[in-house]
């Protein structure tokens, strides 16, 4: 049986893991390579590394971080943040990533999805969408949540799918950093609108939040950062609790 995935996300700035609370306050949480390996050993099904500064001058630092992290990792590894061109994506794949996540650049130039997909395969392209509730639906934001685009989340998710995205990573900006639970309604809206897997992100605080987003939010995977880092929850313990709520999990892991 296909299991639901628990994805550990490392937000990285200047080669160190940090975690934004609603995209603003940053606290140093450690070395990316070491944390990624620890999460994988403790049962995380995948690792995502998001470079949250990603200005052009810092690309070298990122590539080095990706190399060091990939070296010790034998689970799927996604890298996102600042990927603007096919060349940026190629450099990250060459450094050992299995998938890339694209966000702002794909909204500005949607052909980027087609380009990466046709070179590396649809399974290698995740389109990340930051959404904030607005009326019945939600609006897409870019540049780390700083800029509204006027586009509807569901409509952009559908376009990303048509262009060959393999997965959608949906972050609820309303829920992000609150530890009060995922936005299950928004996740279900997107999951039902597309045929590709949807990864829910933003708001994880306890095991019940995860089972909720799988059962009610129809997510195929869920991502969490802050909940893992400070020893709040071990992935294995977390997964055992989610499994008890009736969700298929990879156990033992």
Partner 1 sequence: MITVIDYKAGNLTSVVKALRAVSAHVTVTEDPEVVRHAEKIVLPGVGHFAATEFLETRGIKAAIVERIAAGVPFLGVCVGLQWLFSGSTEAPGMPGLGTFDAVCERFAEGRKIPHVGWNSLSVRGDSRLLAAVPDGSFLYFTHSYRAPVTNGTVAVTEYGGPFTAAAEKGNVMGVQFHPEKSGVTGLRILRNFVELPC
Please spell the DSSP secondary structure of 55-116, one letter per residue. -GGGHHHHHHHHHHHHHT--S-EEEESS--SHHHHHHHHHTT-SEEEE-HHHHH-THHHHHH
Q: Choose one: 51-59, 130-138, 192-200, 209-217; the region binding partner 1 (CB under 8 A).
A: 192-200
Is 234 a residue of the active site?
no
**Rule CB under 8 A: is residue 1 a binding residue for partner 1?**
yes
Pick one of 26, 58, 61, 76: the residue that binds partner 1 (CB under 8 A): 76
Smallest separation, CB 114 to partner 1 (Å): 14
Choose one: 22-30, 52-60, 102-110, 190-198; the region binding partner 1 (CB under 8 A).
Answer: 190-198
Catalytic choice (88, 98, 130, 212): 130
Binds partner 1 (CB under 8 A): choice among 24, 55, 195, 231: 195
For the chain, where are the alpha helices, taking DSSP H only? 32-41, 59-71, 86-94, 104-108, 111-120, 153-162, 184-193, 207-215, 226-229, 235-244
> Is there binding between residue 94 and partner 1 (CB under 8 A)?
yes
Beta bridge partners of 126: 101, 167
Active site residue 11: yes
Distance of closest approach, residue 174 Cβ to partner 1, in angstroms: 25
User: Closest Cα to residue 253, out of 45, 15, 13, 2?
Assistant: 45
Binding residue for partner 1 (CB under 8 A) from 42, 53, 61, 123? Answer: 123
Closest contact distance (angstroms) between CB of 230 and partner 1 is 24
With CB under 8 A as the rule, give the number of residues binding partner 1.
31
Give the list of residues 6+ apart from residue 14 with CB closer than 8 angstroms, or none. 53, 58, 61
Query: Is 69 within 8 Å of 88 (Cβ atoms)?
Result: no
CA distance 43 to 224: 13
Residue numbers of the site for partner 1 (CB under 8 A)? 1-5, 40, 45, 70-71, 74-76, 93-96, 98, 120-124, 166-167, 195-197, 220-221, 250, 253
Enzyme catalytic residues: 11, 130
């Amino acid at each position: 049986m296909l299991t639901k995935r628990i994805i550990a996300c490392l937000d990285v700035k200047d080669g160190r893991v940090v975690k934004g609370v609603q995209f603003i306050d940053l606290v140093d949480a450690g070395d990316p390579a070491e944390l990624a390996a620890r999460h994988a050993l403790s049962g995380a099904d995948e690792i995502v590394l998001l470079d949250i500064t990603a200005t052009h001058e810092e690309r070298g630092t990122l590539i080095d971080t990706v190399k060091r992290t990939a070296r010790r990792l034998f689970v799927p590894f996604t890298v996102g943040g600042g990927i603007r061109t096919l060349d940026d994506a190629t450099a990250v794949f060459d450094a050992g990533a299995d998938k890339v996540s694209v966000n702002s650049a794909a909204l500005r130039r949607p052909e980027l999805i087609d380009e990466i997909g046709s070179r590396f395969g649809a399974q290698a392209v995740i389109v990340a969408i930051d959404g904030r509730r607005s009326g019945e639906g939600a609006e897409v934001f870019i540049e780390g949540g700083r800029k509204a685009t006027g586009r509807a989340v569901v409509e952009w998710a559908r376009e990303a799918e048509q262009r060959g995205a393999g997965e959608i990573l949906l972050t609820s900006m309303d829920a992000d950093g609150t530890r009060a639970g995922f936005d299950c309604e928004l996740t279900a809206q997107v999951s039902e609108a597309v045929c590709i897997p949807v990864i829910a992100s933003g708001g994880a605080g306890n095991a019940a939040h995860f089972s909720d987003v799988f059962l009610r939010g129809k997510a195929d995977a869920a991502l969490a950062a802050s909940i893992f880092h400070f020893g709040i929850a071990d992935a294995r313990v977390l997964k055992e609790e989610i499994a008890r709520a009736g969700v298929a999990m990879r156990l033992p892991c």
